[in-house]
Amino acid sequence: MDPFEEKRRRMVERLKEELGISDKVAKAMLKVPRHLFVPKAYEREAYVDTPLPIGFGQTISAPHMVAIMCDLLDLKEGEKVLEVGGGSGYHAAVVAEIVGKKGKVIAIERIPELAERAKEVLRLLGYDNVKIVVGDGTKGYPEEAPYDKIYVTASAPDIPKPLIEQLKPGGRMVIPIGRYEQHLYVVDKDESGKIHKRVWGPVRFVPLVGEYGFKEWE
Ligand code: SAM
């Protein structure tokens, strides 16, 4: 019996009422035990709608942001999805629930210790449709490209060119852009390869650090 089941159910109910998140995303979030993706000291706050520290100056995103990004991506069963900024592995697990066993999530994380921890939790929970990779996600992950969907969980100076290249025609990317003032963008690549961008709204993320991101000292 999961002692956090009731708290998780209430959190998802609130997200449904306040944001109108889709049933698909709600169902996935009901299944993923967020308390196992945060350090033990924060376990009891895991179902409060807030980001929490996961070490190395990084955070697990707030549940409402995970839900919003999943809905904006319009995820479907069987899709191949790239996550840039795997962090704790929680967001990847939610996406993995939606794309199912026929789909696949590749999550890149630049901090090896976080990637190791995420890998272990996902393994224990049986998410064999998630692959965690250590590296600079601003360069994407060409080995598995192209992707139906790409999402970035750290804020970039601009849309990294490799990510545009690795998105399938007809695919979609969701990415925060900006340093101090940040906005979440929905980026569509049409069948002819043309890019269409729209702003969803203001957001707050840690910086995306890498070759096509911010430099470490910035
Ligand atoms: N999605 C994560 C989760 O569910 O826990 C939260 C991610 S946290 C808000 C952003 C993550 O992006 C951090 O773990 C950070 O180390 C990572 N990051 C920053 N720049 C990166 C890069 N160039 N490549 C890969 N990961 C990066």
Q: What is the pLDDT of residues 87-131, one digit of tens each?
A: 999 999 999 999 999 999 999 999 999 999 999 999 999 999 999
Q: Tell me, in angstroms, the distance from the centre of ligand 1 to residue 105's CA.
A: 15
Q: Residue 2 has what pLDDT?
A: 86
> 3-state DSSP call for residue 128?
coil
- What is this model's ipTM? 0.99
What the chain holds in terms of domains, given with CATH numbers, is 64-203 (3.40.50.150)
Q: Residue 218 has what pLDDT?
A: 58
Exposed / middle / buried, residue 1 (Cβ in 10 Å: 0-12, 13-18, 19+) = exposed
- Which of 84, 120, 141, 215 has most ligand 1 atoms within 8 Å of CB, for mutation? 84
Nearest one of 174, 181, 145 to 159, comparing CA atoms? 174
Nearest one of 92, 89, 48 to 70, comparing CA atoms? 92
Nearest one of 48, 60, 117, 137 to 94, comparing CA atoms? 60
Q: Residue 21 has what pLDDT?
A: 96
Block means of pLDDT (10 residues each) for the chain, 218 residues, are: 92 96 98 98 97 96 98 98 98 98 98 98 98 98 98 98 98 97 98 97 96 84
Tokens of 31: 């299944």
Name residues contacting ligand 1 (CB within 6 A): 58-61, 84-85, 87-88, 90-91, 108-111, 114, 136-138, 153-154, 205-206, 208-210, 213
Would residue 61 show up in a list of annotated catalytic residues for this protein? yes
Q: Residue 111 has what pLDDT?
A: 97
Q: Tell me, in angstroms, the distance from the centre of ligand 1 to residue 102's CA.
A: 25
Which residue's CA is the nearest one to ligand 1's atom 11? 85
